[in-house]
A and B are shown apart, each in its own frame.
Chain A
């Protein structure tokens, strides 16, 4: 089982550029999440999805967009990259909420210069 797969692992963007962070899971999980992890800080939720076609904002959604056309895929779109978006991004999935554990991808390290 691959679990949660994220691409790319590293990326450098110039201010104002756009990009999509890819995330796919092969565990047939309903719930998928995007988090960002800044140095010395706890993970912050950007967006989440409770199933195909359903997405909702998390704590820090500004500057990002998501879509969920299939159960497996949950891409994160940065439209106009800003230096404040320099961070490590993690995609995660779970079968449901409550006491279910999250399965995380290995992360995408993004620098905006």
Chain B
């Protein structure tokens, strides 16, 4: 069964600090891995999409890494801001899975304190 596990479940850090969120997956055959940011009361918004051949992808202060051999990904947030408080969702897509080929993680709830 395809699974996506995220850790930690929740995280509290001080404004200006860096943090790293983890995603492990057992999805096969792997197509791509996505990170989404979900603000409270809003829908998820795409941060990055990485295919098998991509190790790193950045979007401003967000940097995602992918190790397809160990089936792990991380999302690193640099110099956190209050607006980074949100849930971060890891999503993995299977090759040939079509519109129903996405497996969603439960998310990491990040709180940035002033």
Where the two chains meet, the residues of A that have a C-beta atom closer than 8 Å to any C-beta of B are: 4, 31, 33, 40-45, 48, 50, 56, 58-59, 90, 92, 97-99, 101-107
Nearest CB in chain B: distance from A44 CB, A: 8
Interface status of B60 (Cβ within 8 A of chain A): no
| A96 and chain B: residue at smallest CB distance | B99
CA distance A72 to B31 in the complex (A): 28
Where the two chains meet, the residues of B that have a C-beta atom closer than 8 Å to any C-beta of A are: 4, 31-32, 34, 41-46, 49, 51, 89, 93, 97-107
Q: Provide a sorted-by-A list of 6 A–B residue pairs whose CB atoms are within 8 angstroms.
A: A43-B104, A58-B100, A99-B31, A101-B34, A102-B46, A104-B44
| B45 and chain A: residue at smallest CB distance | A104
CA distance A106 to B42 in the complex (A): 5
Q: Which residues of A contact B100 (CB under 8 A)?
A: 45, 48, 56, 58-59
